[in-house]
Structure 1
Amino acid sequence: MPTIQAGDLNVHYLDVGDGEPIIFVHGNWASSGWWLRVLERLPVGYRGLAPDLRGRGATQGPDSDYRMSSMAADLWRFTDALGIERCHLVGHSLGAAIVLQAALDQPGRVITLAVLAPPWVDGMPDEVYQPDRQQLLKDNPDFFAQAIKAMAPTAPEDDLWRELVTIGHSQRLSAANGAIDALREWKPGDRLRTIGVPALVMGGELDPLVTTETVRRAAEALGVEPQIIPGVGHSANLEAPDRFLALLVPHLAQARSS
């Protein structure tokens, strides 16, 4: 798998296909591999790039403050290192917040924007903010595996799944805590509508964390209709990659016809 120096990070990433660049950004307790089933199905004419975020996967480098603006800056440094000026942005969970912030910071570099299971655009609610749970996830691999499976209940428990669970559990605790602190303070709200590029907001009908109400609020802030994928949980990119792409590909194509 390729790596590239981007700022103070040696970023590990997946790189599939040729054509218009799409940057796929994973969530907390995850890695670039969560996009593998999507990347292997990507249509001709697109180049899919999925980096491991700071503190996660095989990317090497120091901790940061993990604020959303810092993670968005990491993302733009990664695209700069690859020589990519404009791209499609696709984010899942924490990654959705990162691409939304990246688009707020540099909207002129974004062709289209798509988010899956977007977190709370008005700040993480107090009842969801659970630092003690992050410690428990790190301390207990069996509990971690059970918790991750509960988030993606229909994902096949194959070799890829087992690898992703192992890689996810290797995430730094500092990155996990930094993520929930960042999500608690991140409150872009209706300012998201100023991004001004075609946007797609998706969620899973069975998602136990990012509820359909949360997805609908993100869609409202962006000024679009939400797309709720039936019969899947938090991670349609793994649970139902074909249905995920059936929504994503026509969205990407808007830029070619406009």
Structure 2
Amino acid sequence: MKLTTPRLTHHIRTSATEDGEPVLFVHGNVSSGAFWRDSIAALPEGFRGLAPDLRGFGESDPAPVDATRGLRDFSDDLGELADALGLERVHLVGWSMGGGIVLQLLRDRPALVKSVTLVNPVSPYGFSGTEGADGRLTHPDGTGAGAGAANPDFVERLKAGDTSDESPTSPRSVFRGAYVTRPVEDEDFYVASMLTTVVGEANYPGDPVTSAEWPGVAPGKTGILNALAPTYFRLDNLHEIERKPPILWIRGADDVIVSDTSLFDLAHLGALGVVPGSPGTPAQPMVTQMRAVLERYGDYREIVFDGCGHTPHLDRPDDFAAALIEHLRSA
């Protein structure tokens, strides 16, 4: 279905039924609401799934992203969408970047939220450019994070709609090597979803900015990877919410994207010698940072799936659905 609000025309994948408690599924970067297709279908009676395409993905408007607002362009879109649909309380499910978006929505509008499920969520201190469990900046300007950290060949192949597996930086190869840990049925469906990503300085990856400090990149002011920079997106005050809905944190033990040793973090790649010239900048401990923030928050539970990567809902769909449904019913 499509719905136009003052902010955006949204494309939304929904359950067959319009009855039941609303469950709002929020996808991650370089994907779309299509990644939640099977999770929506697995919902039992009494729940209604909605999976919108975020701005610049899928069939929603390719509206620009103001990175200086962190992830609030996305979370405000979702809040307005919920209002337009007349949803008073919703269960939020956020994967990867979507995890950061739902936490931002929780921080800004806690009364709207009945429960939260985080699925391999981005750190509450953004992506790259920080150290330690407290998310302190490696450099004041966020050097190490931002659009300049994107692999340029991957960006070009994404823009060109490359469906091949001829290169390790093709979207299909990235899906196989970083999103999942095992072959997935209907792989073409998910690669097609990745290729709906709007490429450019206003969307993915954003405007690149150079830095005199290693590794030579810093956050710009537009686009998605800059919106994820720790200078713009930080959620270390989540525990200050008065009414705290329960949070379930599900993650794959073998995730190479969101990890304390992420293969997408330039600092860790520097330590491995893949990116030369590292002065010894430590990797961002993404999982450790999330755990520290949730421990201050209080009402949370962590589930780790062994042999599972960045997408538990694809790698372990039955286990994922069981854990999610249990959480929804107990909220």
TM-score, normalisation: structure 1: 0.90
* Counterpart check, 1:9 vs 2:8: yes
Q: Distance in 1 between matches of 2:52 and 2:327?
A: 22
Q: 1:131 matched to which residue of 2? A: 148
* Counterpart check, 1:55 vs 2:67: no
Which runs of structure 2 are paired with 1:1-258 in the superposition (5 Å)? Answer: 2-16=1-15, 17=17, 18-66=19-67, 67-126=70-129, 129=146, 131=148, 133=150, 135-140=152-157, 141=162, 142=164, 143-154=170-181, 156-159=183-186, 161-173=187-199, 174-177=202-205, 178-184=223-229, 185-189=232-236, 191-195=237-241, 196-211=244-259, 214-223=286-295, 224-255=300-331
Shift of 1:93: 0.4
For residue 11 of structure 1, what is the amino acid of its counterpart? H
Q: Does the 8 A contact of 1:201 with 1:219 survive in 2?
A: no
For residue 221 of structure 1, what is the amino acid of its counterpart? V
Shift of 1:123: 3.1
Q: Distance in 1 between matches of 2:84 and 2:152?
A: 34
Instruction: Tell which deviates more after alignment, 63-72 or 214-223.
Output: 214-223
Change (3 A) 1:128 1:229: farther
Q: Does the 8 A contact of 1:138 with 1:169 survive in 2?
A: no
Deviation by residue 1:115-167 (Cα, 9 ceiling, x = unmatched): 111112123223565635354223122412111221223354433x2122123
Name the SS for the 1:151 alignment partner: helix
Q: Distance in 1 between matches of 2:288 and 2:46?
A: 31
Which has the greater radius of gyration?
2
Q: May I ask how many residue pairs the two structures share in their alignment?
A: 252
Q: Does the 8 A contact of 2:184 with 2:315 survive in 1?
A: no
Q: Distance in 1 between matches of 2:58 and 2:113?
A: 25
CA RMSD after TM alignment = 1.9
Name the SS for the 1:226 alignment partner: strand
For residue 104 of structure 1, what is the amino acid of its counterpart? R
Deviation by residue 1:17-47 (Cα, 9 ceiling, x = unmatched): 4300010000000001111111111111100
Name the SS for the 2:79 alignment partner: helix
Q: Does the 8 A contact of 1:209 with 1:234 survive in 2?
A: yes
Instruction: Give the structure with the larger helix fraction.
Output: 1
Change (3 A) 1:6 1:241: farther
Q: Distance in 1 between matches of 2:246 and 2:196?
A: 35
For residue 35 of structure 2, what is the amino acid of its counterpart? W
Identity of aligned residues (%): 31
Change (3 A) 1:149 1:129: farther
Q: Distance in 2 between matches of 1:12 and 1:5?
A: 9
Q: Distance in 1 between matches of 2:329 and 2:94?
A: 18
Instruction: Tell which deviates more after alignment, 90-99 or 170-179.
Output: 170-179
Q: Does the 8 A contact of 1:10 with 1:61 survive in 2?
A: no
Q: Does the 8 A contact of 2:93 with 2:102 survive in 1?
A: yes
Q: Distance in 2 between matches of 1:128 and 1:209?
A: 14
Gaps of 5+ in 1: none
Gaps of 5+ in 2: 130-143, 165-169, 206-222, 261-284
* Structure 1 outlier segments of 4+, above 6 Å: none
